[in-house]
Amino acid sequence: MQALAERGFSDLENLPPERLAIAIADVLQENSSYIIEIELREALSQVFEKICVKQDDLANLEIALDNAASDIGSVLTQLFECYIIERFKTNHGEHLAKEHGYEAADKIVNAARDFVAAELAFEETTRHDLTSVDWGGREGEGIVNAILERTVAVYIDTEGSR
């Protein structure tokens, strides 16, 4: 949230959820490559899908979005879980599919998703507040890259030992 405040966004608690999501995406993709922009947009779409799933009418959808806006830490965790997995899939998905078949590759990606979720939970317990991380800066990049490297070490580098 610090990064948003530095870019002129104030009163984040009262910012409409859809505007907050777009602002977060814009901050995170500053000075990034087209591929990273696509990965981030896909991750954001997945988070919205999770938030909005099973909302049978507009009123329930609005409630779900308001609840998400009031729990921005959880939304950020979900966003970065999805984003790291998108990066993993971009860099390794096709190789996994060619090597093991699409069904096995999907299973590996799902296992990697659980691993990334655990890594982010660990980050949260050691930092206590992921909303204070400048995800668009060096600190955020370092966290994402470290988790991605550990994920690759577990699910790609050890591939020959399976």
Condensed to tens digits (0 to 9), the pLDDT of residues 54-102 reads 878 878 888 888 888 788 788 888 988 999 999 999 999 889 999 999 9
The structure's pTM equals 0.75
Decide if 137 contacts 143 (C-beta within 8 A): no
Please give the share of the chain, as a percent, with pLDDT higher than 90: 32
HSE of 120, CA atoms in CB hemisphere, 13 A: 25
Look up residue 157 and give its two tokens: 């580098």
Tokens, residue 107:
């299973």
Residue whose token pair is 């400048």: 134
- Least confident range from 6-15, 76-85, 131-140: namely 6-15
Closest Cα to residue 147, out of 121, 118, 125, 116?
116
Give the model's pLDDT for residue 147: 95
